[in-house]
Each structure stands twice: as C-alpha cells, then as structure tokens.
Chains A and B, each alone.
Chain A
Amino acid sequence: MLTIERALYDKIVAHARADHPDEACGIVAGPVGSDQPTRFIAMTNAERSPTFYRFDSMEQLRVWREMDDNDEEPVVIYHSHTATEAYPSRTDISYASEPNAHYVLVSTRDPEAEEFRSFRIVDGEVTEEEVRVV
C-alpha cells in the first residue's frame, strides 16, 4: 500500500495537468527504508513527448546525489499518461529498476477526473496496490 499526504498527491496531479498533453514525471523522496514519501521533486521530461518520458540525465545525477547526502531514496516515481489509462505500459515495465519504489501513474485523459494509481514493478511483474491519501 502507498500512503501519501494529500498535499503531495495534489502536487503530482497538478504537475501532470500542467504538462498535459506531454507526459510529466518526477519523484517523491523519503528517508531510506521509511517507505514514507516526504519531498516532492518535479523532474524535467527530457523527451517532452505525449508518449514517452525520460528524466534529464544531468538533473537526475544532481537529484540522486542530493538524496544520497540526505539519506533519502525515491519512495515514489511518478509519471503521467495523457491519452491512455493509468497502468504501466510495456515500456514502463522494461525500464522499471527500483524494486522498492511505488510507481505512480496518473492519467490526464479526462480533464474533469484524474486517475491516480500505484504499482510495484519487480522483475517485470506488475502488482497494483491500494493508495491511501492522508
């Protein structure tokens, strides 16, 4: 289960809406081993595409070093799908490399109602989990 504060949830959705129709991406960092997302970090989608995302590699290095210095890890890795459902694509699965992360997918295909879902992706296996907003 992913437990996430309302304010962080809202920031993820707002980022996805702001970058629509391109895919938005980012992370929520938290203390190593805590499973608690605390620090929202919007990342640049270097692809600037409605169908792909990729963290800008230099920005990623900077953010990953910051997390190392703070004893943090990416607790949530999020991105949006802008025309399809909030479910990991084959591409998402093939790139997923953080077995401890919650992979959050937001779909912005409906301008009125967002879909916000969370998954574990381990060795190519996708498992959806409950999202508890607190």
Chain B
Amino acid sequence: MAIEVRIPTILRNLTDGAKAVEGKGGSLDELITDLDSRHPGLRDRLVDAKGLRKFVNVYLNDEDVRFLGGLDTEVSDGDTVTVLPAVAGGAADLPGGRR
C-alpha cells in the first residue's frame, strides 16, 4: 500500500504525463519530499519557504489540508492526496505577487 497522489495537468510534465503517482511518508511534508526524489522539481512547485504555495490546493481525501495541518498533516497508506491549481485572481494587483 502507498499513498496515491493525483497530479493536475499543469504539473504532469514532472511525472512523465502520469495523472497519479504513488509515494510514502508519515506527513504531507515527507510525502512531498519522497515524490520529489522520483519527480525532481515537484516539491518546488508545491512548497516555498513559508509552506504550501498559495497557487495550489492540496487535499487529503476530501479535506483541504489548509484546514488540517498544512505540511504537518499526517498521511498514511491508503490515503489519496489531490493537487489542484488554485483558481484565483482579480482586478487588484497581488501584494508580493510572482511578477
């Protein structure tokens, strides 16, 4: 058993096109590090110095991990983690935006 991680289109260039990959770890943080060892660059797209990037939503089963424990959220075999790009924007310029 492992943890299934569903990957959005925008990140599938890092998973050889795979829609889902498997990984292991006791926390979301460990899981992402494990995935990054086989899919280099994935961690950088999900995590920055402050934690989960605001441009992505990460779900453990049916819950948004922001409402659980963020990167410290415990995960275990049989769980499904889903990554979706956040859909956001608006007329105002984002303070501290990427560009």
- A interface residues, Cβ below 8 angstroms from B: 23, 25, 27, 43, 47, 49-55, 57-58, 60-61, 64, 73, 77, 79, 81-84, 88-100, 124
Contact = CB atoms under 8 A, between A and B. Distances in A.
Given A94-B99, A99-B10, A57 B91 contact: no
8 contacts: A84-B91, A89-B91, A90-B94, A92-B90, A94-B89, A95-B55, A95-B87, A95-B88
B66 A88 contact: no
B55 A97 contact: yes
Contacts of B85: 95, 97-98
B81 to A, nearest CB: 12
A57 B83 CA distance: 11
**Interface SS of chain A: helix, strand, loop or mixed?**
mixed
Interface of B: 8-10, 55, 57, 59, 62, 64, 66, 82, 84-94, 97-99
A96 B89 contact: yes
B86 A90 contact: no
Given A90-B97, A94-B99, A61 B90 contact: no
A52 B10 contact: no
Contact of A91 (B8, B82, B92): B92
Contacts of A81: 90-91
Contact of A51 (B87, B91, B97): B91
Contacts of B94: 90-91, 94
Nearest to A74: B87
A96 B97 CA distance: 13
